[in-house]
Structure 1
Amino acid sequence: MLSKAKELKADLLLLSVAIAWGVTFLMVQDAINTTPVYSFLFFRFSLATIIMFFISYKFLKKINLKTVFYGIILGIFLFSAFATQTFGLTYTPSSIVAFITGLNVIFVPFLTFLFFKDKIKSNVLIATFIAVIGLYLLTMSGSLSFEKGEFLTLICAVLFALQIIFTGKFSKEVNVFLLVLFQLITVSILSLIFSLFLDNVTFNIPYDFAFFKAVIITAIFATVYAFLIQTYMQQFTTATKTAIIFTMEPVSAAIFAYLTANEILTITQFFGAILIILATLVAEIKFLNISNR
């Protein structure tokens, strides 16, 4: 059984990850206006890999095939999610992509049950559906259909769900620092390959202030910090609660954009954000007897 104190601490730190992703969203958006997506991912994850190498240096003697394999699996899930999301954006408005990507919150509990027969607590299941409604109100600004872009983004949501689920499982079996290191190495290599084949340029890009600012800040906070905290803290909480907490990313992005970029936050979006916050609280409060079984 998980210690309640450790689980709460893990959930709060995972919340800081969601906030880090949300706060850096605008920064990334500005950077990819002038830098191809996969090129940017290559620079971001390469710098993150270098930083993570020095952080995990003292554990390098513990490298084994299992750790490398697990890291590669997580890296493939993570990069494939980024790739399908990027392709989805070429066919579908970003608001719809944001909503469908967030549906990983509903895939996680059912995929966890499918793969590992983990029981879904009633309060967490309720929180999942509250989060989906909140995501819809916060992110949707177009009509939802099921065409090529939506299909690609749905795959993206499943891949993000798998990354969350298997991070929780793998982090209990191998060294967390090395697991993150090999995950980042995998994403860096795949980003470089995709950039060389799909981007117009990979290295001949404008190395301006916006680029360096985005690469450095996202590498440190939205990559090294985020994935190290996610991987370490998922040892003490469930994959489903992690997915619910991560729905706070678009909430923090919307609030940050409102405060710093004068973006409008409508009443509907505000209500959606409130529902997502409520969902994270419901996931923590075991108000039904069945939740404790």
Structure 2
Amino acid sequence: MISNKFKELGADFLLLMVAVAWGSTFFVVQAAVNETPVYTFLFWRFFLAGLLMALISFKHLHLINKEVLKAGILLGLFMFLGYAFQTFALTYTYSSTVGFITGLSVIVVPFASYLIFKHKASVFSSLGAIVAAIGLYFLTLNSEIGLSLGELYAFICAMMFALHIVFTGHLSRKHNVYLLVTIQFLTVGVCSLLGGIVLEGSIVPPQMDLLFINAIAITVIFATIFAFWVQTAMQRFTTAAKTAIIFTMEPVSAGIFGYYFANELLSFSQMCGAGMILCGMVIAELGSYFIEQYRRRKSRL
């Protein structure tokens, strides 16, 4: 039991590093997308990541079968639809509103996990999710939530990312992690190719400059291969509900990196929001520790 708890703590720490990796690349991606259409950028990011993962996974390729193909494509579709609806939402409403509604996947995950796989979240995880969601509101305080098409698209985006977390936790326990990650990257790449051709007319970057090359290199290595491999591998040792709470650290780390490296300002309300997100993580983490201690004492009786 102790070793299992150490595995869970280690998994949670590595998932936190994933959130930090996403947050640290946020302003780099934002700068690149200002010059490059979104689906063009997504195609090159995920297609190149898929090719590199295929090379890394070479010795596992003989294990590929119909079931792992279906699982990887399903995860890839959830991931792509999350990015797609997020992009559509940004064309209709404020980025802070989209960020807040997308982050509400932290509330959706425990319910989706229970409804689909009957995985019941602990009281501590549910409480931590609520605290983290309130923190997200303060972190994106300029959000003006209404009933426009933008809010609807952002809500669908949140559902897709929530389903991606829930199904990753389930499927990563049943299939080879390397193959799952490779297939979902290539799925996002193919979908982005279609989206780029249909909506943008091309997937050729308008400017193949240093900004684009650096952004692709950083996101492929850190925000894609490292991040999604770790997520897929580590969710085997922790719960989907805790993963969602940990991922709310992405906007927190984005704010911190933006403050130090992009001269962005953090307001008092944003700092309070970041503090609440940290509190939500601590509640979920300590809660799982107390539950483990209770089970150990109960087993001794």
Task: Compute the TM-score of the two structures, normalised by the length of structure 2.
Answer: 0.95
1:201 Cα deviation from its structure 2 partner: 3.5
1:103 Cα deviation from its structure 2 partner: 0.4
Q: Give the distance between the partners of 1:206 and 1:59, measured in 2 at CA.
A: 36
Contact 2:141 2:269 in 1 (8 A): no
Q: 1:25 to 1:169 in 2, by over 3 A?
A: same
Which runs of 5 or more structure 2 residues have no equivalent in the other structure?
Answer: 296-301
Partner of 2:102 in structure 1?
Answer: 101
CA shift digits 1:42-89 (9 cap, x unpaired): 000011011101111110011011111100000000000000000000
Q: Give the distance between the partners of 2:289 and 2:107, measured in 1 at CA.
A: 20
Partner of 1:47 in structure 2?
Answer: 48
Equivalent position SS for 2:128: helix
Which runs of 5 or more structure 1 residues have no equivalent in the other structure?
Answer: none
Q: 1:287 to 1:238 in 2, by over 3 A?
A: closer
CA shift digits 1:230-287 (9 cap, x unpaired): 0000000000000000000000000000001111100000000011011111110028
Partner of 2:61 in structure 1?
Answer: 60
Identity, in percent, stands at: 51
Pairing 1:1-293 to 2, within 5 Å after superposition? 3-286=4-287
Q: 1:230 to 1:33 in 2, by over 3 A?
A: same
Partner of 2:298 in structure 1?
Answer: none
1:289 Cα deviation from its structure 2 partner: 6.8
Equivalent position SS for 2:31: helix
Q: 1:179 to 1:204 in 2, by over 3 A?
A: closer
Q: Give the distance between the partners of 2:181 and 2:88, measured in 1 at CA.
A: 25
1:290 Cα deviation from its structure 2 partner: 6.8
Q: CA RMSD in A?
A: 1.5
Contact 1:36 1:201 in 2 (8 A): no
Q: 1:162 to 1:262 in 2, by over 3 A?
A: same
1:200 Cα deviation from its structure 2 partner: 4.3
CA shift digits 1:120-163 (9 cap, x unpaired): 20111110000000000001313211210000100000100000
Contact 2:124 2:284 in 1 (8 A): yes
Q: Give the distance between the partners of 1:262 and 1:186, measured in 2 at CA.
A: 36
How many residue pairs match? The answer is 293
CA shift digits 1:205-243 (9 cap, x unpaired): 200011000001100100000000000000000000000
Contact 1:22 1:251 in 2 (8 A): yes
Q: Give the distance between the partners of 1:67 and 1:98, measured in 2 at CA.
A: 32
Q: Give the distance between the partners of 1:49 and 1:205, measured in 2 at CA.
A: 22
Amino acid at match of 1:241: K
Q: Give the distance between the partners of 1:25 and 1:69, measured in 2 at CA.
A: 30
Contact 2:36 2:205 in 1 (8 A): no
Contact 1:60 1:178 in 2 (8 A): yes
1:204 Cα deviation from its structure 2 partner: 4.9
Q: Give the distance between the partners of 1:220 and 1:263, measured in 2 at CA.
A: 25
Contact 2:40 2:205 in 1 (8 A): no
Q: 1:258 to 1:199 in 2, by over 3 A?
A: same
1:41 Cα deviation from its structure 2 partner: 0.2
